[in-house]
Structure 1
Amino acid sequence: MSDSTKERMLKAGLSMLLRHGYNDLGIQAVLKETGTPKGSFYHHFASKEDFALQVVERYMVEVHDGLDQTLGDRSLPPLDRVRKFFESTRDKYHDDGYLGCMLGGLGQELSGVSPVFQEKIEECLSAIASRIADCMEQAQARGDLPPDADPRHMANLVVNCWEGAALRSRLWRDPAPLNAMLDFYFSAVAAVPKSRSDPAAAQH
């Protein structure tokens, strides 16, 4: 079977997992959606679990592409690049009909019952946080964050806050929770004194 057949099924899986979650995702529905025979599915995937895990991998390709485009934009300061990533993600949620984050959705559905998915989702979220932390470290190096700040902690915090806001956004079918979260987080970051030894900061 061709790679294009597998890609069609993975692409269908992206939207179907977002809409229905794992438990309500049927293999037959995927085959019907893509117009492929049952043998094609088991040629490429060992099981429904294997299929869903590969869909998550496919989802992460898109996430890393988004991180490359935004965090790699050297025309912007590092913290603006981080915000741009989340704003771009917010816009994608809009295009998807506010179905939210696949990682967050699957994590809530399966983390308590499937160690395999619990480990996979945590691995993916940690990978995102790690890349954001690298950008946070660049911000710290140029003096945009205090020297005693912990970029890794700050990156994990913004990812955690985002996932909660993404859930509320899905419930409301509205970007307001995402926008409020970004405004709050980056306003708080901007309000932190950059250096206690900075004479200009001491005058205010």
Structure 2
Amino acid sequence: MTHSTKQHLIEAGLRMLLERGYNGLGIEALLTETGIPKGSFYHHFKDKEDFALQVVDAYMAQVHAGLDACLQDLERPPLARVRLFFELTQQAYREQGYMGCLLGGLGQELSGVSEAFRRKIEACFAAIAGRMATCLEEARQRRELPAECDARELADLLVDCWEGAALRSRLRRDPASLTAMLAFYLRSVASVGTGAEA
């Protein structure tokens, strides 16, 4: 029961943080939404910041599960695995009403005022880029990318571009920015690879 109470709070908090941001999330509103008493909240979390940081951890667990499902699918070539992850992420954004990426939203809101959030969110982006870099390095080893390319730089650029497109998608409530960005990135990477083989 204790675990499910905490999980219920985290799941509700994730939805509310996506919709309202950190500063718009009130603990009382969270407790009303979940029907959980205040004492139970403070049994699991020191304060609002601790709660939000644990929500980020839960969000990242979902992200890593998605990365595992896509990037470890050895039936697909590496670049197709990368594409699949972002296509499924875009589908999740659509189902959530284009609320975008929790990391991007909190990073924009809090990185200038909270060192704890700045470090946490940067570490999350670095972890995602690291997973992508491993897959892109496999593409390089398979000569789908030129031998001289830096897989980590390509991965960092991909995450940076995706986060910018996710923001535009949220602003527009439309997937066009995400679709265009992903197509442009993969087309550019593929053309570089083709040029290297020529």
TM-score range, shorter chain: over 0.9
After the TM superposition, which segments of 4 or more aligned residues of structure 1 sit over 2 Å from their partners? 193-196
In structure 2, distance between residues paired with 1:95 and 1:24: 22
In structure 2, distance between residues paired with 1:183 and 1:100: 18
Structure 1 residues not aligned, in runs of 5+: none
In structure 2, distance between residues paired with 1:117 and 1:193: 37
The Cα RMSD (Å) is 1.0
Q: Is the 8 A contact 1:147 1:195 kept in 2?
A: no
Counterparts of 1:78-93 in structure 2 under 5 Å? 78-93=78-93
In structure 1, distance between residues paired with 2:135 and 2:174: 28
Cα deviation per residue 1:107-149 (whole Å; 9 max; x = unaligned)?
Answer: 0000011111000000000000000000001101111000000
Cα deviation per residue 1:18-50 (whole Å; 9 max; x = unaligned)?
Answer: 000000100111111111110000000000000
Q: Which has the larger radius of gyration?
A: 1
Amino acid at match of 1:130: G
Structure 2 residues not aligned, in runs of 5+: none
Distance change in 2, residues 1:3/1:103 (3 Å): same
Q: Give aligned-pair identity as a percent.
A: 61
In structure 2, distance between residues paired with 1:195 and 1:61: 37
Equivalent in the alignment of 1:129: 129
SS state of the match for residue 92, structure 1? helix
- Is 1:165 paired with 2:165? yes
TM-score, length of structure 1 as denominator length? 0.95
Distance change in 2, residues 1:171/1:93 (3 Å): same
Deviation at 1:193, TM superposition (A): 4.3
SS state of the match for residue 98, structure 2? coil
Q: Is the 8 A contact 2:31 2:37 kept in 1?
A: yes
- Is 1:50 paired with 2:50? yes
Q: Is the 8 A contact 1:79 1:136 kept in 2?
A: yes
Counterparts of 1:70-81 in structure 2 under 5 Å? 70-81=70-81
Equivalent in the alignment of 1:182: 182
Amino acid at match of 2:51: F
TM-score, length of structure 2 as denominator length? 0.98
Deviation at 1:75, TM superposition (A): 1.1
In structure 2, distance between residues paired with 1:195 and 1:172: 35
- Is 1:14 paired with 2:14? yes
